[in-house]
Amino acid sequence: DVKVTQSSRYLVKRTGEKVFLECVQDMDHENMFWYRQDPGLGLRLIYFSYDVKMKEKGDIPEGYSVSREKKERFSLILESASTNQTSMYLCASGASYSGNTIYFGEGSWLTVV
Amino acid sequence: DAKTTQPPSMDCAEGRAANLPCNHSTISGNEYVYWYRQIHSQGPQYIIHGLKNNETNEMASLIITEDRKSSTLILPHATLRDTAVYYCIVRVLSGNTGKLIFGQGTTLQVKP
């Protein structure tokens, strides 16, 4: 089975802290994604990557950056966490060919206090 | 913006078929329709996807109209564990990859 693993299920961080959310996939997928999910707003795409060291902004990239140094790992970085970044963060991965399946991790619940 | 429209909620009796509709009237010729579901506090679970032919797997069937402007997800024998939010998504091609743009989904309540 495809596995997308997010490093932390629950985190509590202080305002202004630098936060790293890590995601690892074991299927040699080229594409990886970071979403956040908020009540009433649904899932919104933050960033995605289609290859090592390659990235593209999604719909809400402000306040976030990403890193893809290895194919299997995609990191989401909050340079200076703020309370409005309290959310559930979801990582996903998929192969590069059209019509492939995209798989999601279980999510990371981040609370910024 | 999401390219799909779904009813916000539906009920289904346990053991009966659940038919979840989705409109995607602006879909392009090379864009796939995907269905995911999400149970509270978990990541979205892949169900099925298709381009223009009907598809079936062990979880569900996907019926896509000939003009591709709408589709229906069918859960043939719904159980209480199928209660979830179901998302119909058109995968939008962008540069080197295809993004999943989620809408609000349909909350399916399976009742005993």
Collapsed DSSP state (helix, strand, coil) of residue A83 = helix
Interface of A with B (CB under 8 A): 4, 30-31, 33, 35, 42-45, 48, 50-51, 54, 56, 58, 88, 90, 92, 96, 98-99, 101-107
Residue A97: HSE in the Cβ half-sphere, 13 Å Cα cutoff: 2
CA–CA gap between residue A49 and residue A43 (Å, rounded)? 17
What pLDDT digit, counting tens, does each position of A51-96 carry? 999 999 999 999 999 999 999 999 999 999 999 999 999 999 988 7
What pLDDT digit, counting tens, does each position of B34-70 carry? 999 999 888 999 999 999 989 999 999 999 999 999 9
What pLDDT digit, counting tens, does each position of A16-64 carry? 999 999 999 999 999 999 999 998 888 999 999 999 999 999 999 999 9
Work out the number of other CB atoms within 10 angstroms of the CB of residue A80: 11
Work out the number of other CB atoms within 10 angstroms of the CB of residue B100: 22
Cβ separation A101–B49 shorter than 8 A = yes
Pick from A32, A98, A103 the residue to mutate for testing the B interface (most B CBs within 10 Å): A98
CA–CA gap between residue B112 and residue B108 (Å, rounded)? 13
Q: How much is the CA Rg of chain A, to the nearest whole Å? A: 13
